[in-house]
Structure 1
């Protein structure tokens, strides 16, 4: 079906074509500034003061953003509707190009390909590699590797010579889909093309894809190939690998790469490196190592940012170190670092999990007073906490707030509310929320059905449980997004 979209849109047929030296982290910090002692929990920082942003006219801004979004979607549909006709061959360039750009920005790949097909029919059209690069990157984000391969063939039929950026975008499309054989094959093709050798950007993209798909076994191989070809890593390359090893809890490898980064002499650790380190240690509860890394990076002259503090808050909260968590919040306030939605969502979730409803409500109120817009993550944390505390009337209150807001909901939010009523044995309200979910076109998933099956079984309603159990099993065979129609 996906092939038909591309072939119809472009009116073309498918053309088949089918290192790491180990050094210790400690050597990285052996040159400390004299007179500076360690104070892991002191949060010393030499950052510039940032101005506090005061939210004004929030509702007006939200309405303006919504209006712009609706206008953009209407413009895309207007141009897309002309794609199937043969008579539109001399349209106004600005309208077509803007609609294509908007569709790419929204990752609306089907519309983008239809509009691109219309673009190619225009009398004034001239093929450009930049356009193909943008489309290929979009198809990578949408996990449409086969479509990317087709598009690459279309580019060749347009008589264009692929550039490094085009090839790199194709590598990204294959890599994002976990098709590493095709990705490596594309890099081999690059090596055989004059003036189009893979560069650090190409390999960084491939490394990022390997890490996203947990193929860390390929990382050393890629780095070794870069060394063999004389391609030096950039700061982004090092940070990508450090972050990947950190998330996989491969701490020794993570520290070795940091040593390589410093030894390179051309790339220096930055706040992204710092955040990867403290996040890696904080996520697995190694608080002392997290604090030591925080201190050592500051001694290297690296100042924290808001994300750094969000990581510290989350790590202290998960470790039950609430006093330290709040000391970070106080430090942010004193140094004029503005809290973000992520900051307050983290605190709300931490206190909610701890069962401290009073403090959770306090920070939720603070979020609203500061003009921040709660999102589904906020509401899920609140619903979960109220449900565990047995305060179901508070869940009702949250639903009313959501109904009166313009919050963008999602399936996890409905799952959370369904679970809350299910655990309380209120299957009538649970069914009502499920019906609302379907009415608003949110697709139930495995968690939705499993939760409802458990709730109905607990109430002895075997017939209803069997009905939803069948829906749950159908997920394995249903290919369409509308599960209830299977």
Structure 2
């Protein structure tokens, strides 16, 4: 459905109005898609207004999925004060909280670091008698505490969920590895990987990307290279995220020959490159003062149909200014402004 693919709220709203003008009757799914677009862009007033419109249309009442999107938007944009209103409205309409709603609340509160509300929601979930925590609940708890460095809390809740009979999945282990890595607890990070082997959980590309990023950021290039070799030895195909971490680490270590090597590997592979990768490697050559390579990579972005963003332009402007190329930097500044204006007016692809 086209409306669901739109990312720009103005375009979604226009498409919705066109549907109405053509005499088409929106369904619950269509309205919910519009609520999602508004919610993802922080336009909560419009999202709530759309839900109110749904209630006035026969056979088009908001459902549990509509409200889960609304709740998720409120937590994402730090408006927990609106959630009680949503839950009260759901109760009035006879829509009970299901596992999806509870998990949405728990995940949202966790990401917003509202830990008391997160734990209260888990208690409500268990006491409801009809909804049980699952691996998604587990991962939300571990991710919330791990992300902010509360490792003891993370470990406590891992044990609690084990007692509930909830078993981890590969994502659980990736969360633990990333959390330990961020806290520079490398021994525990390794212990998780050993535990995965014993339980016959194979490391995924995501697992290796996390480990490579952790050691790269820590400046331990030797260890990073070791895991990159292991990744390839096990038949894992590196992706743009892998190469971003490698380029960033080599660049910070001043090892531009390694950056050159990565660029050759990427050029001779079928890896799908994206804007973040180009931003990373443009930044590396920019820091090294190689503006010729910076310009070449900028042209390569167009060939690969990767759209430059404000980070691309800012990185290049900084590189040109550092070399005293003020005229080229000013030209890029103008192109950045034009690019920003145009990105808000594209309709194709929404």
Q: Is the 8 A contact 1:281 1:289 kept in 2?
A: yes
- Alpha-carbon displacement from aligned partner over 1:118-174 (angstroms, at most 9, x marks no partner): xxxxxxxxxxxxxxxx444334x565421442354167x25x5x5544443443344
Q: Is structure 2 residue 322 aligned with structure 1 residue 458?
A: yes
Within 5 Å, which residues of 2 pair with 1:59-458?
134-139=1-6, 143=9, 144-150=11-17, 152-153=19-20, 157-158=23-24, 163-458=27-322
Question: Could you tell me how far 1:339 is from its partner in structure 2?
Answer: 1.0
State how far apart, in whole Å, the 2-side matches of 1:464 and 1:415 are: 18
State how far apart, in whole Å, the 1-side matches of 2:18 and 2:344 are: 25
State how far apart, in whole Å, the 2-side matches of 1:185 and 1:460 are: 52
- Alpha-carbon displacement from aligned partner over 1:1-28 (angstroms, at most 9, x marks no partner): xxxxxxxxxxxxxxxxxxxxxxxxxxxx
Question: Could you tell me how far 1:480 is from its partner in structure 2?
Answer: 6.9
- Alpha-carbon displacement from aligned partner over 1:370-420 (angstroms, at most 9, x marks no partner): 222211111100000000111100111111111111111111111111111
- Alpha-carbon displacement from aligned partner over 1:448-467 (angstroms, at most 9, x marks no partner): 22222222232333333333
Q: Is the 8 A contact 2:4 2:33 kept in 1?
A: yes
Question: Could you tell me how far 1:299 is from its partner in structure 2?
Answer: 0.8
- Name the CA shift for 1:137/1:434 in 2 (closer, same or farther; >3 Å): closer
State how far apart, in whole Å, the 1-side matches of 2:236 and 2:88 are: 47
- Alpha-carbon displacement from aligned partner over 1:47-88 (angstroms, at most 9, x marks no partner): xxxxxxxxxxxxxxxxxxxxxxxxxxxxxxxxxxxxxxxxxx
State how far apart, in whole Å, the 2-side matches of 1:427 and 1:202 are: 50
Q: Is the 8 A contact 2:13 2:34 kept in 1?
A: no
**Count of residues in Structure 1 that have an aligned counterpart in Structure 2:** 345
Q: Is the 8 A contact 1:148 1:173 kept in 2?
A: no
Q: Is the 8 A contact 2:205 2:236 kept in 1?
A: yes
State how far apart, in whole Å, the 2-side matches of 1:473 and 1:190 are: 39
State how far apart, in whole Å, the 1-side matches of 2:344 and 2:107 are: 35
State how far apart, in whole Å, the 2-side matches of 1:296 and 1:308 are: 14
Q: Is the 8 A contact 1:443 1:481 kept in 2?
A: no
5+ residue gaps, structure 1, are 1-133
State how far apart, in whole Å, the 2-side matches of 1:173 and 1:456 are: 38
State how far apart, in whole Å, the 1-side matches of 2:275 and 2:264 are: 18
TM-score (normalizing by structure 2): 0.90
- Name the CA shift for 1:320/1:173 in 2 (closer, same or farther; >3 Å): closer
Question: Could you tell me how far 1:473 is from its partner in structure 2?
Answer: 4.4
- Name the CA shift for 1:433/1:325 in 2 (closer, same or farther; >3 Å): same
Choose between structure 1 and 2 for higher RCO, CA contacts under 8 A separated by at least 6 residues: 1
Which has the larger helix fraction? 2
- Alpha-carbon displacement from aligned partner over 1:296-319 (angstroms, at most 9, x marks no partner): 111111111100000000000010
State how far apart, in whole Å, the 1-side matches of 2:340 and 2:2 are: 31
* Secondary structure of 1:266 counterpart: coil
State how far apart, in whole Å, the 2-side matches of 1:439 and 1:135 are: 27
* Secondary structure of 1:409 counterpart: coil
TM-score (normalizing by structure 1): 0.66
- Alpha-carbon displacement from aligned partner over 1:289-336 (angstroms, at most 9, x marks no partner): 011111111111111110000000000001000010011011101110
CA RMSD, 1 decimal: 2.4
Q: Is the 8 A contact 2:247 2:284 kept in 1?
A: yes
State how far apart, in whole Å, the 1-side matches of 2:19 and 2:38 are: 12
State how far apart, in whole Å, the 2-side matches of 1:176 and 1:461 are: 40
Within 5 Å, which residues of 2 pair with 1:459-478?
459-478=323-342
